[in-house]
Amino acid sequence: PTPFVHDVAGDPSQAAFWAVGASILPGSEVVIENVYAGPARSGFAAVLARMGADLFHDPVTSDLTVRAPSGGVLSATTVRADEVPGLVDEVPVLAVAAACADGETVFEGVGELRVKESDRLATVESELGRMGVDVRAEGDRLMVRGRAGSQLRGTSVDAHNDHRIAMACAVAALVADGPTTIDGWGAVATSYPMFPDHRATLLAGGIGV
């Protein structure tokens, strides 16, 4: 066979962390290069857009540009059970977006999260709760009452050896009123070993997150 080069688009699950970061910091803008946007994997972007974030996916370059809402604050929404298959891995970080929104966001039919690397419904409830968020996990539903316009609490949280919980907490720390320590931070290497470097680069560049 003849060798060829095939460009593989980037992981939407990784992009979601930066998309939420840009959405919750007023005045922020982030361009995430070459993000796959197939209908089965773009659910997180649809939810953020519904909450008021400004998103544009370039059909030529596949770059995803995300800006904070023009009014500065996200709005609560309901994530229906039929939407969950396309965003199940992004629920922890979408819960961070919900924590910064105006009103109560409800995630329906997310019971699958109880059997991931951790019980992600329980860990989102406990760790965002430590940061001052009104969050409840009941059965297969997750309810988050936002603190629009208020900072989260800087504190010590536990990743429960779950990479997505660790990274979601790191995004939440962007809007905390003080330092946040994440126990079990090494879990991020499971799926996104460059996450700490990318976070530091974005913060240093002054482009939002």
Active site residues: 89
List phi, psi (to 5°) of 142: -130, 125
Identity of the residue numbered 6:
H
Pull the structure tokens for residue 54.
């400004």
Any idea which residue has 């240093």 for tokens?
204
148 contacts: CB under 8 Å, gap ≥ 6: 73, 74, 100, 101, 102, 103
Pull the structure tokens for residue 151.
């900072």
Distance CA 50, CA 74 (A): 9
